[in-house]
Amino acid sequence: MRRTITLSLLAALVVAPSVAAQTVVIGSSRAQACYQSSLSPITSHTAVTTCRAALNEDALPSRDRAATHSNMGILLARLGRDSEAMASYNSALRINPDLAEAYINRGGLWLNSDETLQRAIEDYETAIRLGGSDVHIAHLGRALARERAGDLEGAYSDLVTALEIEPGWDRAEQELARYSVVSSNGASS
């Protein structure tokens, strides 16, 4: 029996804002403050200034320097400064090409444009391959990108996987609730 996946409210499809993957920093108090700011839903220009000061004035180990770039990118993206956020994520990845969180966050920026959906998918796939504690976020991001690209079955699969990794995650459950699986004879499940 062939089954297809359809969105229950395709006309109401709105891609929700991407989620961020913060990177823990151990070390400088300014780098730590930058990390803490990236966790907060409220973003200020002062927080970005703190991140820049950590990067410019503190002797950070390369892991913390990469993490601080990634966390500053989150703040810049929230302020609508996407090109600066992209530069921050790229800097993080130049320093540490295995920083899965930076791929997740950069994928979120790529997701904002139909022209860069494939890049978003590639970044999410890299984050998934690298693993880590935020791999469920990478699956959600790839689901959103796949959905926008028209791959509903792939999107559905990623949402199911995100929930297998992080059971009860509200965000993934909300996205998955918009889908219904329909058999070739028209029966829903």
Q: Note the pLDDT tens digit of each residue in 36-86.
A: 999 998 889 999 999 999 999 999 999 999 999 999 999 999 999 999 999
Query: 18-35 pLDDT, tens per residue?
Result: 456 666 655 558 999 999
| Alpha-carbon span 67 to 95, nearest angstrom | 9
- CA–CA distance, 89 with 103 (Å, rounded to integer): 8
Whole-prediction pTM value?
0.83
Identity of residue 142: R
CA distance 28 to 34: 10
From the options 2.60.40.10, 2.160.20.70, 3.40.50.1970, 1.25.40.10, give the CATH code of 3-7+21-183: 1.25.40.10
pLDDT, tens only, 148-185? 999 999 999 999 999 999 999 999 999 999 999 887 77
Phi, psi of 182 (to 5 degrees): -120, 130
Furthest-apart CA pair in the chain: how many Å?
A: 65
Q: At what angle do helices 62-78 and 45-57 cross, to 10 degrees?
A: 160
Average pLDDT, the chain: 86
